[in-house]
Structure 1
Amino acid sequence: MNLTKKKLEDASAENIISPQQVESLYEFLLAQSQDVPKFTFTHVLYYLGGLIAIGAMTLFMNLGWESFGGAGILSISVLYAAVGLKITNSFAAKNLAIPAGICATFVVCLTPLAIYGFQQWLGVWPDDSVYRDYHRYIKWHWLYMELGTLAVGAIVAWKYKYPFLIMPIAVTLWYMTMDITAMISGGDLTWELRELVSLYSGLLMIGLAFWVDIRAHQKGDYAFWIYIFGVIAFWGGLSSQNSDSELSKFLYFCTNLIMIGVGVLLVRRVFVVFGALGSCGYLGYLASDVFSDTWLFPIALTAIGLGIIYLGILWQKHERSITKKSRSLLPVPLRQLLEAKS
């Protein structure tokens, strides 16, 4: 629910609350939501600047840094991390939670670079790959960098408790599944194996995100980024599967519909977006391949769409009673999670 000052003033005009209560309540709600990411110019600047800084030391790292050697890369990474922690503490002291969380995340994202430099310095780097390949290729020896990032990420997240810190942890978990598979398979990582690993690792990440959501939803949205990368991995692996069976394709469609339902239930848009993409893809397949010469298909699809709209009307009329009865059957932690998101 988007509660604006205009709505509070409308409530005052209906004598539901007094004009004095409008100002007090609005100030209270504003203070409560100041640390919640919103699509405002201030927050866009925060995240744009933070992502540029993080990208500079990760995705956009060039070969120029290799000239510093392992010791130089390690030293510069440690120096950057020290400055990042200093800025994080400064922002935290001023109750600027979002920029503080972004700066703390920047520190975590420096970890794989520091470990790479350390390995180069010791002369134990196993091949001629360079740091910028870390975000492009699947190799077993990235595991040292990933384990270190998870350890540092867990420590920094435990200390500062900013939800954005979960982002590099979620990305690292995603990378790690592929690299562990490469190690187990001896480097023979076929596309079929990649798809299956992506599918099942995505399911595991979604399960982890759900557990985190139940345990920590009252403190912050720590599950957001795990849901994001879990759904991307799961849906990507699912959508990459090849099948000539119409039943399999229909089950794919049903899975995407279930994703939409889960997204609505948990108020997680990422499920809805990818579920909608998959559903539209299946309907497009039916229109172009299965029923390409059938003039009744668009009519039938229109009727189904109107039927779904009618179901929405019925749901709106009976939503309160259905929700109350269905939630009474759920475990208490799950019920509390759903009520918190209502």
Structure 2
Amino acid sequence: MRIPGKQLDQAVVNGIINAEQAKALQQFLATQHTGPHFDFTHVLYYLGGLLAIGAMTLFMTLGWESFGGWGILAIALIYALVGLKLANLFASKGYQVPAALCAAFVVTLTPLAVYGLQQGLGAWPDDSSYRDYHRWIQWHWLYMELATLAVGAIIAWRYRFPFLIMPVAVTLWYLSMDLSAMLTDGDFDWQLRKLVSMYCGLLMIGLAFWVDIRARHNGDYAFWLYLFGVIAFWGGLSLQQSDSELAKFGYFCINLLLIGVGAVLVRRVFVVFGALGSCGYLGHLAANVFKDSWLFPITLTFIGLLVIYLGILWQKHEQQLTQQLHACLPAALQELLDNRQL
């Protein structure tokens, strides 16, 4: 937790603490803060790390095909060894963010290594190249994805950096899309793909919640799983087609539920996508159902003001209501929510 210096100064002015205590508290918090935060040093860390990761994933060129399958595998393994060496070196010196980025770089090399192995063995099923892995949905990416999940789990268990869940979460998202291609034997079925994305997203959200509970006393290992789980679920849900106004209202209610879940778990990704879906439904009402009604904008304005009033009431009684709600929850979930609100 970081407290701005102005707030500490104001606490001194108000007589809450004295100047010596403020200085000691600021020094203590500086030593306790070990996680990543937004400053120029960390911007450089992530910029460099993501450039290296992107070079071996999104920005891979066809020139690498000239090395052949075994050459690609060998280069990927060499890069992985260098990445692990750097991760160990940085971790031993206390540079956790660079260590996490180097370890994540190793995980992102796994699809390339598997691709090279399949090419070398002559087991690659078509004329597609590795660069298509991040662009197209294909059933035969599954081998690369499953291997990446396995390597990601091992690396995350070894180094215990929350950022290592990012490549795992991205791979699960890819897997949710490629599963539909496998189920249809490569045929394009848009409706099935939307359903698979929606249900796989729900599974990822469930996995994220389980990880959140298990790791509640440690780092935020669930962030990336929540992010891509919500993207997969909300994307599949929002692309569903229906002429029923009742179904559209159900979609609106689900998005309101997402906002509520985000508020309870203190996860902004639920709130952001829930708000987008809710606004989309209200836009549908304004453009189609009530397009000729002068009463609809007025009613919506009053609803908005009512929501603001409810927010004021919640702010007044937040502590009492929060305590009452928390008392109804399991102990593990209470600890999770208490940690999130620190």
- TM-score with structure 1 setting the length: 0.97
What is aligned with 2:72?
73
Q: Which amino acid aligns with 2:27?
A: E
Structure 1 residues 323, 306: CA separation in 2 closer, same or farther (over 3 Å shift)?
Answer: same
Q: Which residue of 1 aligns with 2:91?
A: 92
Write the letter of the residue equivalent to 2:217: Q
Write the distance in 2 (CA, Å) between the matches of 1:39 and 1:297: 43
CA distance in 1, matches of 2:268, 2:162: 17
Q: Percent identity?
A: 67
Partner of 2:99, secondary structure, is helix
1:297 is matched with: 296
Match of 2:261 in 1: 262
Superposition deviation, residue 217 in structure 1: 2.1
* Alpha-carbon distance in structure 1 between the residues aligned to 2:121 and 2:174: 24
Report what 1:28 is aligned to: 28
Farther-moved stretch of structure 1 (302-311 vs 15-24): 15-24
C-alpha distance in structure 2 between counterparts of 1:230 and 1:287, whole Å: 30
Does 2:290 match 1:308? no
Q: Does 1:245 align with 2:244?
A: yes
Structure 2 Cα separation of the partners of residues 314 and 177 of structure 1: 41
* Cα deviation digits, residues 66-96 of structure 1 (max 9, x gap): 0010111111111111111111112112211
Match of 2:215 in 1: 216
Match of 1:183 in 2: 182
Q: Give the number of aligned pairs.
A: 341
Distance (Å, rounded) in 2 between the aligned partners of 1:28 and 1:99: 24
The reply on whether 1:7 has 2:7 as its aligned counterpart is yes
The residue type paired with residue 15 of structure 1 is: G
CA RMSD of aligned residues (A): 1.3
Q: Gaps (5+ residues) in structure 1?
A: none
Moved more, 163-172 or 90-99: 90-99
CA contact (8 A) 2:212 2:221 kept: yes
CA distance in 1, matches of 2:208, 2:51: 26
Secondary structure class of the residue paired with 2:263? helix
Give TM-score, length-normalised by structure 2.
Answer: 0.97
Residue in 1 that maps onto 2:18: 18
Q: Secondary structure at the match of 1:47?
A: helix
Return the offset for 1:2: 5.8
Provide the rounded CA distance (Å) in 2 between the counterparts of 1:49 and 1:291. 51
- Equivalent position amino acid for 2:7 in 1: K
Residues 216 and 335, structure 2, Cα contact 8 Å, conserved in 1: no
Write the letter of the residue equivalent to 1:279: S
Structure 1 position 32, deviation (Å): 2.0
Give structure 1 regions of 4+ aligned residues with deviation exceeding 4 angstroms. none
2:45 — aligned with what?
46
